[in-house]
Amino acid sequence: MKILVTNDDGIYAKGIDALVNHLIDKGHDIYVVAPDRERSASGQAITLHHPLRTTKVLKWDKASAWAVDGTPTDCVKLGLSELIDEEVDLVISGINLGPNLGTDVLYSGTVSAAIEGAVSGVPAIAVSLAGTEKLDFSYSAKIACHYAELMQKNKVPKDTLVNINVPTEKEDKIKGIKYTTLGKVRYNNPFQKREDPRGRPYYWLSGEVNQDISNEKSDVYAVSENYVSICPIHFDFTNYRLLEIIEKWK
């Protein structure tokens, strides 16, 4: 299988390294097109007002790799249209450092890169390790590879997009896999107000994460209970229920 790998943590991040090495070990043809530095929370942003520059990266013996001074979405666009001469079977974005659950997928550079693959007609996976400390990416890489091969075997539609979140526990401690819906994630006190040395106020985005675990079908609940979450998502934002209502308006 020919796979384009990208991320939002940058081409030198540990997560993408673990993913690429595992995919190579499984015999897949890998092309890496990833940001030259961290681009977390960049969403679906694309670069319009300055040119994109690429640098060939000799990091993996059996993978062609480029670092791009743009967003994760830029990387997928550029990879599929310019850098890779062959037709790509799948896009995998990750392995992200930290979760991409619920409504946070709207901000995630990791998920947005996968969305760009699906928009471009290539099935895609976004994969995240839902933690920030004592991380072992090996099981997440195994899960991503397994679902990549399942998607190829089952000949999924070209707009297929799967968001995977893996708990940080060791493989033998994980309870299993759940197929989920997007949950809800909110942030309490999202901004901290501070003052610079000249007495002028500024605001720093932070906040405490408030995850709604009341919905047992959600990705948030699954990960909180130590299950791998497999959540199919789509870039069609149409609210069909509301559409049926407003069509009746006069």
DSSP string, 138-204: HHHHHHHHHHHHHHHHTT--TT-EEEEEE-SS-GGG--EEEE-B--EEEEES-EEEEE-TTS-EEEE
Instruction: Indicate the domain borders of the chain.
Output: 2-182+214-246
C-alpha 186/C-alpha 165 separation (Å) is 18
Q: Mind listing the pLDDT tens digit of every residue in the chain (250 residues)?
A: 999 999 999 999 999 999 999 999 999 999 999 999 999 999 999 999 999 999 999 999 999 999 999 999 999 999 999 999 999 999 999 999 999 999 999 999 999 999 999 999 999 999 999 988 768 999 999 999 999 999 999 999 999 999 999 999 889 999 999 999 999 988 777 888 999 999 999 999 877 777 878 889 999 999 999 999 999 999 889 999 999 999 999 7
**208-233 confidence digits (pLDDT tens):** 777 878 889 999 999 999 999 999 99
| pLDDT at residue 113, as a whole number | 98
**Rounded to two decimals, what is the model's pTM?**
0.93
| Residue 85 marked ligand-binding | no
| Domain 2-182+214-246, CATH | 3.40.1210.10
| Residue 9 marked ligand-binding | yes
| Residue 40 marked ligand-binding | yes
Answer positive or negative: Cα dihedral of 154, 90, 23, 12: negative
The answer to whether the beta carbons of residues 114 and 91 sit under 8 Å apart is yes
* Residue 14, token pair as written in the block: 């540990």
